[in-house]
Structure 1
Amino acid sequence: MTRTPPSPGPGAPSSPGPGTAHSRVPRGPSRDLGRDLCAAGAAVLLVTAAVLAGHRIQRTSRTLFADWPPLLASWEPHLGPGTPAAVLVAVATVAYGPSLAARLPWRALVPLTWGAAMAWTYSLALVDGWHRGIAVRLTTPHEYLRAIDRFHDIPAALRGFTGHILLGSPDHWPAHVAGHPPAATLTFVLLDRIGLRGGGWAGVWCITVGATACVAVLVTVRVLADEGLARTAAPFLALAPAAVWMGTSADAYFAAVAAWAVALLALAVTGRSWGRAGASGLLSGLLFGLTCYLSYGLTLVALIAAAVLVLGRRGIRERPALLVPLLAGLAVVPTVFTLAGFDWWEAYRLLVTRYHQGVGDIRPYGYWVWADLACTVLVTGLATAAGLRRAGAVLVRRRGDVLSRPAGAVADARLALLVCAALLALLVADLSGMSKAETERIWLPFTLWLLPACAFLALPCASGFSLPRASGPSPSLASGSAPAGGVPLRAWLTAQALLALLLNHLLITRW
């Protein structure tokens, strides 16, 4: 009598039948690898199409107002003093990043990631030299520092701010001053008042503060999803191609403020101590309010915040009073600016008019609505394209588990939800038509949240994997090897670094 073997338990791998070991076992990983490469290939095709179509449109009609579309840049192959440092940072991060991220204590990993991100951004900026790469970036005719002298009386400047937005108004603001609420310009006014004057200090501020955004993203992923996933994402955040535009752009500073607002919200809804959770909620509200007065478009960060609230709904149900300090903090900055005489809604209405007074009304929506997505590929890299493909697969397959199962059992689905919320915010900004061109820097507050999708590249497959809570990093992360037949993490990291190095050495970016 033949005994029937016991059926495998939940989650156990199924045994292949006779004669099928070679044909069935590798099918899952191979299919997953093929889809990763297809996603990366599709991203390459999108960029290629945007470059070819953009150059043709620019040659024939000159309506793009970009010398090297889809980027606002000029073709100028060059080397600079930052080249050796950039190469060294890239090689060191690729060689040692995954293993250090896996083995270092968390308290050491966080400042190391910030330091690596700063080193990467500074070295890339210095490829253009100190003067062109950092010191004069924020002093061009369109930038914030050109308006500092007009804020000698800050209350009066705020009361009259909306009167100088339109092009036909007397002494209209420079483009970037008019295009943002006054907190953006006030930041540089206050730096000037405390003695940190000029474009050099402004550039150092934006790079140093902007690099903390990767830490905020790490903290958020750790508390909402899993520490192992955060550790896997750390090298990709530190070595992001986005660093080309993080140095030197005020949008890097905006991205950091928005990222810390989200991170503190995540700490508030997951905190065990009422005191710390309440303090985090208050600070989160303050930064969310400031975010809205740094850039009008950053109101879309509310979509990422909504994902945080969904993932932290249990903490809110247990302590609904957490919303009180959050809302109290959120009201502070808008109240201060409103009492000072600045009308946010009126300013935004006038900004829309100003946008259509300039090149924004000439640039063709039909090109930029998809070419801006090609810019996003260049900012986030091919690894992120593959990671987003996996994130989408996880979210589709396990969408019901996010709300019904314990957090530790669905860490991958929780991260996928967070990443997809950022992607949704980016798509809404794209469809709005208010970001035609220059999105490589304007969308930094959104694109940084796409980078954690690279953590999925360390998982055995995109379907059904769940990393146990506090289980530590996987062996593939420590070694940088390929999980279950996939592309090694170091290969993806290398692709990210090469993209940034090529962009920074072949093009001169401007804004």
Structure 2
Amino acid sequence: MTRSPSRALRRDLYAAGAAALLVTAAVLVGRHIQDTRHTLFVSWPPLLANWDPHLGPGTPAAVLVAAATIVYGPALAARLPWRALLPAAWGTATAWIFSLALIDGWHRGIARRLTTRYEYLQVIDRFDDIHGTLRTFTDHILLGSPDHWPAHIAGHPPAATLTFVLLDRVGLRGGGWAGVWCIVVGATACVAVLVTIRALADETLARRAAPFLVLAPAAVWMGTSADAYFAAVAAWAVALLALAVTRGSLWCAGASGLLFGLTCYLSYGLTLVALIAAAVLVLARPRPVLLVPLLAGLAVVPTVFTLAGFDWWEAYRLLVTRYNQGAGGIRPYGYWVWANLACTVLITGLATAAGLRRTGAVLLRRERGDRSDARRLALLVAAALLALLVADLSGMSKAETERIWLPFAVWLLPACAFLTRPRGWLLAQALLALLLNHLLRTGW
């Protein structure tokens, strides 16, 4: 029996309302815990942010990009040739991220973000001898070790820091270039997701998802956080895998493996992207021959770093020890295990909450008329949600998940392709991002 559109819309609104209540609870409970026990180590729980209403030079551009995407985005996404849609999506996403970042001004919004005492650019000079630094990298992870690494360097494998070292070596020095790199590369994540949806599911669904991928509230934290760059690398690894298994391309399989290997050396937690990759393999059932270049490519980056003297497993073990020592404070698991999900609502928006409801409905339906492409997209989104939940339950991501989980969040946004009345939902997404960026001074 077919459900009426009005009934489905009411259920979408219920899902969005429940998500809003989760955020409200996280804010109120978080304020109480922070004011009484001071154990959350964030100023505006559940986000690492401060209450500070403000306008900035990026305000007019952000409003203009949002309005244009809401009014024209769905129609253009449906009509543009595919080869034109992809660069248009990338360009609009880049403009959206840049304009939101510039609400805080060039210096605070972009140029200074990656130069604070926790960030990668603080240790560029310690990589003059890259090979020597890699050999002794694990000696500086623990808080009690001599010249211990700042938080983000210790918290990631060295490929993350080496990215900015190499940018410095080629002349793109300083926080401005590092910020631009993260924004421009990070914005390509939406293109990778579109490519994946088209390859595995359906071009129509990809086109319907495009405006939501472009106008994501996650853009507040993609400008500027290195996690935006990590998200793009991981997304392209999945996209190339989808192309490999649907086209039988050995080159795409090898390139996908190479990027998956790099992903694991950018962030320890991104090993969970393997769950999304597994969903791709299950959906496409590739020829066994494709596994050869995939695994060969996957081995390249780990082999290079291991031969250079960096032990990934030892580094991760030491990082867990540092985390348990209280790096960043001993944050209560009982709050963050659900407040992290409120952070996810804030980076993916209420539209995604409604889209996830529809995703669940697609997976649960067994009606004869169900389209297989919709189920394929639903399974891909479900795999991303599973990866995020595993990361949450692990307890290794307590707070700051508004940036840490960007690589997973970009795969939840396609759930919005199932929504009707896209302009209304896009308006909700844009308003959320604009309010967050204008009312709060975010930490990233």
Q: Which TM-score applies when normalising by structure 2?
A: 0.98
Quote the Cα distance in structure 1 between the aligned partners of 2:431 and 2:58.
15
Task: Name 1:108's counterpart in structure 2.
Answer: 84
| 8 Å contact from structure 2 (residues 138, 314) kept in 1 | yes
The residue type equivalent to 1:237 in the other structure is L
Task: Name 1:283's counterpart in structure 2.
Answer: 255
Task: Name 1:95's counterpart in structure 2.
Answer: 71
| Equivalent residue runs for 1:267-306 within 5 Å | 267-271=243-247, 274=248, 277-306=249-278
From 336, 347, 350, give the equivalent of 1:382: 350
Task: Name 1:443's counterpart in structure 2.
Answer: 405
Instruction: Say yes or no: does 1:307 pair with 2:275.
Output: no
Q: What does the per-residue CA deviation read over 1:244-277, in whole Å, with 9 as the maximum and x for residues that have no partner?
A: 0000000000000000000000000000xx5xx1
Task: Name 2:429's counterpart in structure 1.
Answer: 496
Quote the Cα distance in structure 1 between the aligned partners of 2:327 and 2:100.
29
| 8 Å contact from structure 2 (residues 41, 329) kept in 1 | no
From 168, 177, 181, give the equivalent of 1:201: 177
Give the deviation of 1:362 after TM superposition. 1.5
Quote the Cα distance in structure 1 between the aligned partners of 2:178 and 2:112.
9
Instruction: Say yes or no: does 1:506 pair with 2:443.
Output: no
| 8 Å contact from structure 1 (residues 360, 436) kept in 2 | no
Give the deviation of 1:358 after TM superposition. 2.1
Instruction: Say yes or no: does 1:253 pair with 2:229.
Output: yes
Quote the Cα distance in structure 2 between the aligned partners of 1:247 and 1:184.
17
Q: Secondary structure at the match of 2:24?
A: helix
Instruction: Say yes or no: does 1:41 pair with 2:17.
Output: yes
Q: Secondary structure at the match of 2:115?
A: coil
Q: RMSD between aligned alpha carbons?
A: 1.4
Q: What does the per-residue CA deviation read over 1:458-495, in whole Å, with 9 as the maximum and x for residues that have no partner?
A: 3xxxxxxxxxxxxxxxxxxxxxxxxxxxxx21000000
Give the deviation of 1:360 after TM superposition. 5.2
Task: Name 1:369's counterpart in structure 2.
Answer: 337
| Equivalent residue runs for 1:13-52 within 5 Å | 28-52=4-28
| 8 Å contact from structure 2 (residues 26, 46) kept in 1 | yes
Task: Name 1:481's counterpart in structure 2.
Answer: none
Q: What does the per-residue CA deviation read over 1:84-137, in whole Å, with 9 as the maximum and x for residues that have no partner?
A: 000000000001000000101000000000000000000000000000000000
Instruction: Say yes or no: does 1:134 pair with 2:110.
Output: yes
Quote the Cα distance in structure 2 between the aligned partners of 1:496 and 1:231.
17
Quote the Cα distance in structure 1 between the aligned partners of 2:7 and 2:371.
25
Q: Secondary structure at the match of 1:74?
A: strand
Q: Secondary structure at the match of 2:199?
A: helix
Instruction: Say yes or no: does 1:160 pair with 2:132.
Output: no
Give the fraction of aligned pairs with identical amino acids, expressed as a percent: 81
Q: Which TM-score applies when normalising by structure 1?
A: 0.85
Task: Name 1:143's counterpart in structure 2.
Answer: 119
Give the deviation of 1:31 after TM superposition. 2.0
Q: Secondary structure at the match of 2:419?
A: helix
From 297, 304, 307, give the equivalent of 1:329: 297
From 222, 229, 232, give the equivalent of 2:208: 232
The residue type equivalent to 1:494 in the other structure is L
| 8 Å contact from structure 1 (residues 217, 263) kept in 2 | yes
Q: Secondary structure at the match of 1:96?
A: helix
Quote the Cα distance in structure 1 between the aligned partners of 2:63 and 2:356.
27
Aligned length: 444
Task: Name 1:474's counterpart in structure 2.
Answer: none
Quote the Cα distance in structure 1 between the aligned partners of 2:94 and 2:350.
22
Unaligned 5+ residue runs, structure 2? none
Task: Name 1:397's counterpart in structure 2.
Answer: 365
Task: Name 1:461's counterpart in structure 2.
Answer: none
Quote the Cα distance in structure 2 between the aligned partners of 1:126 and 1:73.
17
Quote the Cα distance in structure 2 between the aligned partners of 1:253 and 1:263.
15
The residue type equivalent to 1:457 in the other structure is L
Quote the Cα distance in structure 1 between the aligned partners of 2:216 and 2:318.
35
Q: Secondary structure at the match of 1:202?
A: helix
Quote the Cα distance in structure 2 between the aligned partners of 1:340 and 1:284.
23
| 8 Å contact from structure 2 (residues 39, 329) kept in 1 | no
Q: What does the per-residue CA deviation read over 1:419-452, in whole Å, with 9 as the maximum and x for residues that have no partner?
A: 0000000000000000000000000000110000
The residue type equivalent to 1:155 in the other structure is H
Larger radius of gyration: 1
The residue type equivalent to 2:178 in the other structure is A
Q: Secondary structure at the match of 2:441?
A: strand
Q: Secondary structure at the match of 1:508?
A: strand
Task: Name 2:240's counterpart in structure 1.
Answer: 264
Give the deviation of 1:81 after TM superposition. 0.3
| 8 Å contact from structure 1 (residues 241, 379) kept in 2 | yes
Unaligned 5+ residue runs, structure 1? 1-13, 15-24, 459-487
Quote the Cα distance in structure 2 between the aligned partners of 1:360 and 1:83.
32
Quote the Cα distance in structure 1 between the aligned partners of 2:176 and 2:300.
31
Give the deviation of 1:210 after TM superposition. 0.2
Q: What does the per-residue CA deviation read over 1:38-95, in whole Å, with 9 as the maximum and x for residues that have no partner?
A: 1000000000000000000000000000000000000000000000000000000001
Give the deviation of 1:30 after TM superposition. 2.4
Instruction: Say yes or no: does 1:84 pair with 2:60.
Output: yes
Task: Name 1:480's counterpart in structure 2.
Answer: none
| Equivalent residue runs for 1:423-502 within 5 Å | 423-458=385-420, 488-502=421-435
Quote the Cα distance in structure 1 between the aligned partners of 2:173 and 2:302.
27
